[in-house]
Amino acid sequence: MAMNWFTRHCYDTDNPQTYGRHFRVAFSGSLGLIGAGLAGLVHAIVPPVFQFRTANAVIDIYHRHVLGTGRHGAELSRYGLTADGQPLTPESGPGAAKGEGGGAKS
């Protein structure tokens, strides 16, 4: 498939994906977030229902769709995290290989 503005994002990350794979991961993650949001709305009205459902779903989706795909190192570093989701330290930061520290591999 020729790379164009429509598919560039699928290939322009740390771990490139085909359009079909990207679609499946993004679509399933989005459905999970919609479900978590709806559960959160119900929980706001009736607190005993869906306890921790939203938080658990967001954490699960983060691990499977952000950390699990190996595609989001640059985005994680903007939030002070390494590519495996750990907090940045001087040893893990940019320049760490040079002994300078301060950021994440992306």
Closest C-alpha to 29, from 3, 67, 1, 2 = 67
94 domain residue, yes or no: yes
85 φ/ψ sector (left φ>0, alpha ψ -120 to 50, else beta): left
| Residues in Cβ contact with 56 at an 8 Å cutoff, skipping those fewer than 6 apart | none
Residue 13 placed within a domain = no
54 is in which domain, residue-wise? 18-98
Query: What does the pLDDT look like over 73-101, one tens digit per residue?
Result: 888 888 888 888 889 887 755 555 444 44
Q: What is the pTM of this model?
A: 0.66
- Number of independent structural domains in the chain: 1
46-66 pLDDT, tens digit each: 999 999 999 999 999 988 888
Name the band, by pLDDT with cuts 50, 70 and 90, for residue 31.
Answer: very high
